[in-house]
């Protein structure tokens, strides 16, 4: 491990200026992602500024929606009664990830900022433009089973790993930041980047820019999250799907769909979303929508399976969200009933 200095942030202003002035400094919150990467020599900061003591720990009403402080733990968000009642898809997404112990430490800002699980990024003996720009991408010609089918480039085919981020994208969340040049509100859909020729940059955050909260806009529809993975728990998404549906009687007034495990960022599907507007839910409609959503997928040598898997997952997520199928959820996660309360845990064998 690279030697580093450790400092506890006194306040947000001090944390921002310290990290902004030092290009090799980073923030640390729950530490569940960052410390692993430091131990593996993937991240080599000279200075680590611990922001876990900053008062960014509240969760409550804001502009008709909910504001979640950057340091609120993933567990607190997932079980918060207002989140469970009004944004059950977010609760399901968080509970589909990691383990209870990790979720207790992991934070609202740290989760969407976790880095890719591409094995070539985490192995310092392999070429990786994301870890070390200009060295190449070993995944392009390597074992690329878990990699991107949308939005990739010759420089990088990695996927974004967070489940929570996929639900935040479907809910059109807003990231609030405090940076060296002032405060910003960043729509979640613009927060993560596609790799292009600068895959080392995952997001639009600047050096020293601190997330202070993530805001959920007012939403009175139904939301839901499904995840397909190699094991029933403690595994990252091969493909996942978050849905947010607003109904007008028996027809769909507005639909938002985000896919996880398929791109360098949570992947929204605007054409597919538009196909749903004004329509009555049906399996035939949902199959057409899923076909359209994956029409421009560009699979690599080992991941063509993500296309049929993703289409089927999207159809099932839409069927469950619209009430055509009972809510089943992702095995091993708590799920919300249509009345909004956490209804139970689906057995791992389901
Ligand atoms: C074994 C294992 C299994 C996992 N499985 C899953 C899974 O299935 N699904 C899933 O989604 N996740 C999974 N995770 C990842 C886990 O969710 C993340 O490690 C966690 O959410 C990161 O949050 P943290 O607060 O610990 O972040 P940290 O490790 O503290 O930080 C992560 C990054 O965020 C930055 N950061 C933190 N807070 C701020 C802020 N306020 N402003 C600006 N930058 C900030 C840090 O500088 C760092 O770059 C798994 C992790 C492990 C170890």
**For 1-16, what is each residue's pLDDT tens digit?**
999 999 999 999 999 9
Model's pTM, two decimal places?
0.95
300 in contact with ligand 1, CB cutoff 6 A: no
CA of 210 to the centre of ligand 1 (A): 15
95: pLDDT confidence band, cut at 50, 70 and 90?
A: very high
Tell me the C-alpha to C-alpha distance, in Å, between residue 300 and each of 148, 149, 268.
Answer: 8, 7, 20
188 in contact with ligand 1, CB cutoff 6 A: no
29 in contact with ligand 1, CB cutoff 6 A: yes
Q: What is the pLDDT of residue 342?
A: 37
Give tens-digit pLDDT for 27-56.
999 999 999 999 999 999 999 999 999 999
Q: What is the pLDDT of residue 333?
A: 59
Q: What is the pLDDT of residue 330?
A: 66
328: pLDDT confidence band, cut at 50, 70 and 90?
A: confident
155: pLDDT confidence band, cut at 50, 70 and 90?
A: very high
107 in contact with ligand 1, CB cutoff 6 A: yes
Residue 92 has pLDDT above 60, yes or no: yes
8 Å CB contact between 143 and 186: no
Domain 224-324 is in which class? Answer: alpha beta
Residue 317 has pLDDT above 70, yes or no: yes
Q: What average pLDDT score do residues 64-79 get?
A: 98
């Amino acid at each position: 491990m690279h030697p580093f200095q450790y400092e506890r942030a006194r306040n947000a202003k001090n944390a921002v200026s310290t990290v902004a002035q030092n290009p090799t400094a980073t923030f640390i919150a729950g530490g569940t992602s960052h410390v692993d990467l430091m131990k593996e020599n993937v991240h080599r900061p000279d200075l680590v500024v611990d922001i876990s003591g900053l008062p960014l720990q509240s969760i409550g009403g804001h502009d008709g929606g909910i504001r979640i402080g950057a340091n609120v733990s993933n567990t607190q968000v997932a079980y918060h009664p207002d989140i469970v009642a009004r944004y059950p898809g977010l609760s399901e997404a968080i509970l589909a990830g990691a383990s209870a112990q990790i979720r207790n430490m992991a934070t609202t800002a740290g989760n969407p900022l976790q880095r890719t699980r591409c094995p070539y990024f985490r192995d310092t003996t392999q070429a990786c433009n994301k870890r070390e720009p200009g060295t190449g991408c070993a995944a392009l010609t390597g074992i690329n089973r878990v990699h991107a089918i949308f939005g990739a480039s010759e420089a990088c085919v990695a996927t974004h790993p967070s489940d929570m981020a996929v639900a935040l994208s479907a809910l059109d969340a807003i990231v609030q930041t405090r940076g060296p040049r002032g405060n910003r509100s960043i729509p979640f859909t613009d927060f993560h980047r596609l790799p292009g020729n600068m895959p080392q940059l995952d997001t639009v955050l600047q050096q020293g820019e601190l997330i202070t909260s993530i805001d959920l806009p007012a939403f009175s529809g139904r939301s839901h999250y499904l995840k397909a993975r190699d094991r029933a728990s403690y595994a990252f998404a091969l493909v996942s799907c978050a849905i947010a549906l607003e109904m007008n009687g028996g027809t769909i007034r507005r639909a938002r769909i985000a896919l996880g495990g398929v791109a360098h960022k949570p992947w929204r599907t605007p054409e597919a979303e538009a196909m749903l507007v004004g329509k009555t839910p049906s399996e035939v409609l949902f199959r057409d929508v899923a076909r359209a959503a994956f029409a421009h997928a560009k699979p690599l040598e080992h991941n063509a399976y993500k296309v049929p898997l993703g289409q089927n997952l999207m159809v099932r997520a839409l069927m469950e969200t619209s009430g055509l199928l009972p809510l089943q959820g992702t095995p091993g996660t708590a799920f919300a009933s249509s009345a909004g309360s956490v209804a139970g845990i689906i057995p791992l064998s389901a």
